[in-house]
């Protein structure tokens, strides 16, 4: 069955108008007061949507407020130094979001005179603006009826409409985008899309949906048939790879700390960190020799002071934190520097390495 026919089949006998009305009314009555909802400024909507990817609302609020204080306009963000932007993002994770946002905003400033495009194609061509972010900006900021489909929305609609397709598949996302296009309100697409998002966040939650509080319960096929907790269907993820490391807290005779900048591309690009010894390749007994070869410094490897486990979406870092003292030599590493402990705040570190900060001798 072609997608258009499937959409028509799914929505057969579904009261779209009543569903729309109930959802929008509930959202206007019950929506949370959030800083990015103060107005419909497309730049604020954009920043909030990028921050909210993979991150909880409560976590995002202080970051959003701080970020908007520092970079209140597209011009301010476009002109900022990347390290300053990464520092403002420090702790939110998924740092490529910050870099892509800044690169895209620079394009908005240079190509569109600092005005976020209201055209779907122009907006979608910006770095890091996928179909969801594009739909969110167009509908929330510009009142254009465009679908904004993420995992939250797919969960809600898979229950409401009883769709049993695997939501981890791209084809399922396309199906839900088509369904939202049919369901969305032309008069108030902003409240409709935000209502779907809010419903997923507050009521139609992943494990134990609060069906008795649901404003669209009368429309929900999964609830009607008692299968709401079985939906959505989602294939299980591949197991995360575990990577063991030694995290070295290296200090010289002045008490300065050795830090290094990660490569400009890849995981945690351009952030700063303490040196990491890959234990899959280097044994504990070879650390001093490895360190001399990598950094040109002779060191004394000291005691273990902590163990840090950090979980990424695709891998797990298991790090043993070791104190190390420099004995002699001159630093020879193009991306490493010694800094005074009190200057640590000037450098953006990933959360995994921030956890080791308290062990630095100050």
Contact 118, 140 (CB under 8 A): no
Does the active-site annotation cover 328?
no
Give the residue among 298, 295, 308 at the shortest CA–CA distance from 338: 295
Q: Which residues pair with 233 in a beta bridge?
A: 166
DSSP code string of 108-177: HHHHHTTPPP-SHHHHHTSTT--HHHHHHHHHHHH--------HHHHHHHHHHTT--SBTTSHHHHHHHH
Task: Please identify which residue in the block is written with the tokens 């590493």.
Answer: 333
CA distance 5 to 156: 21
Q: Which of 49, 90, 198, 228 is catalytic?
A: 49
Give the residue among 129, 127, 115, 36 at the shortest CA–CA distance from 73: 115
Contact 236, 167 (CB under 8 A): no
User: Catalytic residues, which ones?
Assistant: 49
């Amino acid at each position: 069955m072609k997608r258009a026919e499937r959409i028509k089949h799914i929505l057969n006998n579904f009261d779209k108008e009543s569903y729309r009305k109930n959802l929008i009314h509930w959202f206007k009555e019950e929506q949370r007061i959030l800083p990015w909802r103060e107005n419909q400024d497309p730049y604020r909507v954009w920043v909030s949507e990028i921050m909210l990817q993979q991150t909880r609302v409560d976590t995002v609020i202080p970051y959003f407020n701080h970020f908007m204080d520092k970079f209140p306009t597209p011009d301010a963000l476009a002109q900022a130094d990347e390290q300053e932007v990464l520092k403002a993002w420090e702790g939110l994770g998924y740092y490529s979001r910050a870099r892509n946002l800044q690169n895209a905003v620079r394009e908005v400033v240079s190509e569109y005179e600092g005005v976020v495009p209201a055209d779907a194609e122009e907006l979608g061509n910006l770095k890091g603006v996928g179909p969801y972010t594009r739909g969110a900006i167009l509908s929330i900021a510009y009142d254009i009826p465009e679908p904004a489909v993420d995992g939250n929305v797919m969960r809600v609609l898979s229950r409401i409409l009883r769709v049993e397709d695997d939501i981890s598949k791209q084809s399922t996302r396309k199906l839900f985008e088509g369904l939202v296009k049919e369901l969305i309100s032309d008069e108030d697409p902003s409240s409709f899309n935000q209502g779907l998002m809010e419903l997923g966040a507050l009521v139609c939650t992943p494990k134990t949906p609060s069906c008795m509080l649901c404003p669209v319960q009368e429309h929900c096929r999964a609830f009607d048939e008692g299968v709401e907790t079985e939906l959505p269907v989602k294939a299980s993820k591949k197991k995360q790879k575990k990577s063991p490391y030694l995290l070295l807290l290296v200090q010289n005779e002045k008490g300065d700390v050795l830090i290094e900048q990660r490569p400009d591309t890849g995981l945690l690009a351009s952030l700063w960190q303490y040196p990491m010894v890959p234990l899959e390749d280097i044994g504990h007994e070879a650390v001093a020799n490895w360190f001399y070869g990598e950094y040109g410094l002779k060191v004394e490897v000291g005691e273990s002071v902590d163990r840090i486990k950090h979980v990424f979406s695709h891998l797990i870092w298991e790090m043993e934190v070791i104190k190390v003292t420099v004995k002699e030599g001159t630093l020879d590493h193009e991306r490493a520097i010694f800094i005074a402990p009190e200057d640590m705040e000037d450098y953006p570190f990933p959360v995994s390495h921030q956890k080791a900060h308290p062990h630095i001798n100050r």
